[in-house]
Amino acid sequence: MVSIALGLYEYGWQGIFEGLAIVIAIVIITIITAANGYIKEKQFQQLQAKADVSDVLVMRNGKLKTISSEDLVVGDIIYI
């Protein structure tokens, strides 16, 4: 904003372009950085969700089985 004001003061309307270029560059960089951060956060959440799932050894209906932790039901006995 200072560059815009000084350019306008010293060179008239012709001096505004350098300041506008700086403002536009800052806005573009901010938008790209925010979008990149959002994408990385979504990827991290998906990776974290996958890390929470693991195979466990359980006793179900009198038989030992290896199942996903997402498939556990009431009555399963988990072997640690």
Question: Based on the structure, what is the number of domains in the chain?
Answer: 1
Distance CA 68, CA 53 (A): 7
12 pLDDT higher than 80:
no
- Where would I find the H helices in 1-80? 2-11, 16-51
Strands of the sheet containing 77-79, edge to edge, are 63-68, 55-60, 77-79
- Percentage above 70 pLDDT, the chain: 100
pLDDT at 30: 98
CB within 8 A of 55, min separation 6: which ones?
Answer: 66, 67, 68, 69
Confidence band, pLDDT 50/70/90 cuts, at residue 5 = confident
Confidence of residue 17 (pLDDT cuts 50, 70, 90): confident
16: phi then psi, degrees, rounded to nearest 5 = -80, -20
Give me the domain span that covers residue 15: 2-79
Q: What is the pTM of this model?
A: 0.57
